[in-house]
Amino acid sequence: MRLLVLLLSIAMPLVGWLSQTGAFGPDQGTVSGRYPTLLIAAGYAFSVWGLIFLLDLLYGVWQATGARRNDPLLARIAPAAALGFFLTAIWMPLFSAGLFWLCLLVIFGALAALAWCALQLSRPGAATGRRVAWLALSIHAGWLSLAAFLNLAQTIVAYRLLPTGDMLGWSLALWALAAALLLALNARMRGNIAYLAIALWGLVAVHIQQSQSTLPGAAVSAWVAVAIAVAIAAQTAWLRRARPRPLHRNRRPT
């Protein structure tokens, strides 16, 4: 299983590169541009995939070498990490092919797998000696926590499941679900700084995009993104402040 995690960590950037060259059809930016929504982020935000793939590759190599091969926690999360990496890789050609319903199943599956890994690594003391795994999987899960709802919004628009002329009402409902997920996972992880950082990256990018958009309701959506960013930042500060501090015994002077 450790070897599979490594191989899939290599596969993701390879599939990503092939996807950008048009090997599977239009690249993600082209497909995404066909279905504008009130949740879409500015294009620069998606460059974060480069960081995600790099960290996942480092994690893949790290967890398969040295003493880490005997680490019981890394062994326990390996199947879920492999599943998350596999689903991330296949999402890209599926999105290029316009298979949005299948993409939804895949991206929410990847989110569930990698969020579970991040939760395990965020338990008290679990990240000690495992910072590479914690950082890589927390950031990947954090980005998917937003990307899944962006994908959902585009699926709604692509199939015209809800009104596309006035998207504000149902977009606010998606924002509420996204905020609930972000805050719930962050609470379970006791204020995960890596998870917070990637969430802020995405939310600020949504604010920038929607501030420039001419879609009805875009200005409201832009400020909803800011409100969620402030909420999760405040929550993280409170959670980390409330963490119990280790007790130190008083030493007698010698």
At residue 32, the pLDDT reads 87
- Of all residues in the chain, what percent carry a pLDDT higher than 90? 81
Query: Per-residue pLDDT averaged across 225-232, rounded?
Result: 97
Report the distance separating Cα 111 and Cα 87, nearest Å: 9
Is residue 93 scored above 50 in pLDDT? yes
Is residue 250 scored above 60 in pLDDT? no
At residue 185, the pLDDT reads 97
Query: Per-residue pLDDT averaged across 74-92, rounded?
Result: 96
| C-beta of residue 103 within 8 angstroms of C-beta of residue 94 | yes
Report the distance separating Cα 199 and Cα 178, nearest Å: 11
35 secondary structure, DSSP code: S
pLDDT in tens, 131-185: 999 999 999 999 999 999 999 999 999 999 999 999 999 999 999 999 999 999 9
pLDDT in tens, 10-45: 999 999 999 888 888 888 888 888 999 999 999 999
- pTM comes to 0.92
What is the token pair recorded at 102? Answer: 């299948």
Nearest to 55 by CA among 118, 140, 114: 140
Angle at 52 between CA 5 and CA 57, to 5 degrees: 35
Is residue 254 scored above 70 in pLDDT? no
- Of all residues in the chain, what percent carry a pLDDT higher than 70? 96
At residue 246, the pLDDT reads 54
